[in-house]
Amino acid sequence: MLQLKKRNKEQMSEIQVDGYIRVPKGTMIYPTGDGVEAPATRDQVVKVADIFDVDVKSDNFYLLLPDEMRLRYFEASGGKRPIDQDILEFTDRLTKGDYRAVAWSGKWALIADVQPAEAPANAKTARKVVKPEKKPLTKQQQMVIGSVWRFIQDTELRYKVRNPTYAVMRDDLDRGLHELSQHARAQALDTKLSELGIIDHIDEPWGPVTAGETFSVRGKLTSGFGGGQDVPMLFRGEKFTLPYASLEPFVELVNGPSS
């Protein structure tokens, strides 16, 4: 009996996440979400997604219990009295002393009821997926709420605002092109506005900054500001807004958001 338990423990130690297990026909299978447990209808080899505990402290422990034990288990686990001994003896026999489970594809089974297995042939020959190289964060990705930044040189910052003349002129020109298709009309409008030198956003001065001056990102706006670009809200005594493109060449990260 001791040798059998030792052999079972050795087998269980071979089961690892991303490894494979054989789930014999008749093994009790539990759903990871809503659903009813049921015995497996066939032998199958599956890939292990997770290994977790199903002891008395886990949310899944009650699934192992017969109906007549569940109420007593909840009354004990919600109160201060110990779990009834017959419940512990039942689950100890059920789990064969190993209170762990193996999950795969939205299902799980007790680790004592499955065996380690070789990967199926189709998994062995499948092309290995090469994970893309992890790239460092860009400056814009680092510009999160709470991060602190420093200007690295003296400069005059500028930003873009919507040109009210652009919208008015576009509407006026559009009235004379109603006979064209929508696509052709859009092309004609863009060409005419470009010829007239009317642009949709105007470059405006924001103000001077000096090297070493710092600011904190208070928020990020996208709706209608800076041509749809992310616009960090800067803090320098009061709130200001500037498109990221206006800042990027002149700033460096001091530190990320405080925890």
pLDDT, one tens digit per residue, over 5-51 is: 444 444 445 888 889 999 999 999 998 877 788 899 999 999 999 99
**pLDDT of res. 104:** 93
The predicted model scores a pTM of 0.44
124-151 pLDDT, tens digit each: 555 566 677 788 888 877 877 788 889 9
The string of pLDDT tens digits covering residues 38-90 is: 899 999 999 999 999 888 878 788 888 888 888 788 778 766 778 889 988 99
More confident residue, 186 or 9: 186
**pLDDT higher than 80, residue 120:** yes
Query: How does DSSP assign the chain, residue by residue?
Result: -HHHHHHHHHHHHT--TTSEEEE-TT-EEEESSSS--EE-SS-EEEE--EEEE-STTSTTGGGGS-HHHHHHHHHHHTSSSPPPHHHHHHHHHHHTT--EEEEETTEEEEGGG-EEEPPPHHHHHSPPPPPPPPPPPPHHHH--TT-EEEE-S-EEEEEEEE-HHHHHHHHHHHHTTTTS-HHHHHHHHHHHHHHTT--SEEEEEEEEE-TT-EEEEEEEE-SSSGGG--EEEEESSSEEE--HHHHGGGEEEEE----
Task: Give the Cα separation of 4 and 68 in Å (integer).
Answer: 31
Residue 221 has pLDDT above 70, yes or no: no
Identify the pLDDT of residue 231. Answer: 55
Domains of the chain, CATH where assigned? 7-125 (no CATH), 137-161+202-259 (2.30.30), 164-199 (no CATH)
